[in-house]
Structure 1
Amino acid sequence: MTESTTPTLTPAELNARDAVGTLVVDVRAPAEYAAGHLPGAISVPLDALETLLPELREAAAGRDLIVVCAAGQRSATACARLAAAGVTAVGVAGGTHAWRAAGLPLDTAPHSGRAVWAMDRQVRFAAGALVLLGLATGVRSPRARLLSAGVASGLVYSGLSNTCGMAAVLGKLPFNRPQPTALDSARRALRG
């Protein structure tokens, strides 16, 4: 297992920084961002990172680029992708969870549509539901228990590799994807 080598700031270190020279990019799903994000953060979902790479590169040339997610995994992935594209970025240790735990303020944004759970909650629900389905149908058909075994194997792999295939799949669902106008808004904010 390889630990992340992405440089990080603690919430206190980020909070003490000059906001003028710092650009904070939130790579969570749009609904997660709307529910609570660091003040001044721009929403650029992880799946849209490559789409906005030219704007991110330009913005990072003049300011320090800070990337945040819920707990740190997605921001580490984003920082690695940015580094591969020649853009220097720093993550926030513990993400918005650590920011909130430090007693620092979060802003909210309007979100069209119904409330969407945070990605980690979606993963826990989907994994649990699939395990229960495999066990329940396994009463009539023992082979159905393979579904539970498959989910368990995926969770073990997720823990060992520090990645989450289920989150990647769930991130493709319509309610976890940004609206096209949201990317236009992010593009304008990055250029501004």
Structure 2
Amino acid sequence: MSTTPETAAGPVGHTVDADTVRGWMDAPERLTVIDVRSPAEFETVHVHGSYNVPLPLLGEHAAQVAERIDHRTVLVCQSGVRATDAHRRLAAVGMGDLHVLDGGVPAFERAGGPVVRGRARWALERQVRLVAGSLVTAGVLGSLWKRPAIALAGAIGAGLTFSALTDTCAMGRLLAALPYNRAGAPVDPARTLDALGRPAARS
């Protein structure tokens, strides 16, 4: 079920569940699914028919994206955090009929939605947990010998707290820039925008 109240016209609010999205895919109305994860994550597994517009690219070209889409759009990531950020950016430039897939691609796949699989890579959120956990562990173990290690553990803890409070992730942005996460099909801004459609004519 959707995580938000529903009316006869559909879910109210911007979060929708995987079953709702599957129903929209079978409906005659036009639907665009935008995946805001990194190219490597997209290559690993993505919703069939979705477009890869990584969050940094979408943030830079939010107005152009909004110009090209005048129908229902679902934003997708791994868990919903980045898609929610994308929703905020697109809504800020006036784009409407925007929805975030609750639970991301994993939830869609669990619901039996069609996905495309490629080369397996770790999701960005999993990489963040690995790096953060490793740094904290190293800091705690190092504290047995040196005070700076305690400061390191404290800094990581403070960073994770700030990330939760602001719903952002600086470490995730840094990891997304690594070659490992950019190793999927390269994303060309002009080609990506063209794939979404031409800007609507202004009267």
Larger fraction in helix: 1
- CA gap of 1:121–1:134, structure 2 versus 1, over 3 A, is same
Which amino acid is the alignment partner of residue 155 of structure 2? Answer: G
- Bigger shift: residues 95-104 or 171-180: 171-180
- The residue aligned with 1:45 is 54
Deviation, structure 1 residue 157: 2.5
- The residue aligned with 2:160 is 155
Q: Is the 8 A contact 2:14 2:99 kept in 1?
A: yes
Which amino acid is the alignment partner of residue 22 of structure 2? Answer: N
- The residue aligned with 2:74 is 66
**Residue in structure 2 matching 1:92, options 101, 106, 125:** 101
- Paired residue secondary structure (1:49): helix
Once residues 72 and 139 of structure 1 are traced to their aligned partners in structure 2, the CA distance between those partners, rounded to angstroms, is 39
Q: Is the 8 A contact 1:24 1:68 kept in 2?
A: yes
- Paired residue secondary structure (1:107): strand
Once the two structures are superposed, the pairs formed by residues 78-89 of structure 1 within 5 Å of their partners are 78-88=86-96, 89=98
| Identity %, equivalent residues | 33
- CA gap of 1:53–1:163, structure 2 versus 1, over 3 A, is closer
1:191 and 2:200 equivalent? no
**Residue in structure 1 matching 2:14, options 1, 7, 10:** 7
Once the two structures are superposed, the pairs formed by residues 11-50 of structure 1 within 5 Å of their partners are 11-17=18-24, 18=27, 21-50=30-59
- The residue aligned with 2:84 is 76
Q: Is the 8 A contact 2:15 2:101 kept in 1?
A: yes
What CA RMSD, in Å, does the superposition of the two structures yield over aligned residues?
2.4
- Bigger shift: residues 181-190 or 84-93: 181-190
Structure 1 runs of 4+ with >6 Å offset? none
**Residue in structure 2 matching 1:141, options 146, 149, 152:** 146
Which amino acid is the alignment partner of residue 56 of structure 1? Answer: V
Which amino acid is the alignment partner of residue 84 of structure 1? Answer: A
Q: Is the 8 A contact 1:6 1:79 kept in 2?
A: no
Q: TM-score, normalised by structure 2?
A: 0.79
Deviation, structure 1 residue 54: 4.8
Once residues 15 and 60 of structure 1 are traced to their aligned partners in structure 2, the CA distance between those partners, rounded to angstroms, is 20
Question: Any gaps of 5 or more consecutive residues in structure 1?
Answer: none
Larger fraction in strand: 2
Q: Is the 8 A contact 1:6 1:91 kept in 2?
A: no
Deviation, structure 1 residue 176: 2.6
Deviation, structure 1 residue 19: 6.5
Q: Is the 8 A contact 2:39 2:187 kept in 1?
A: no
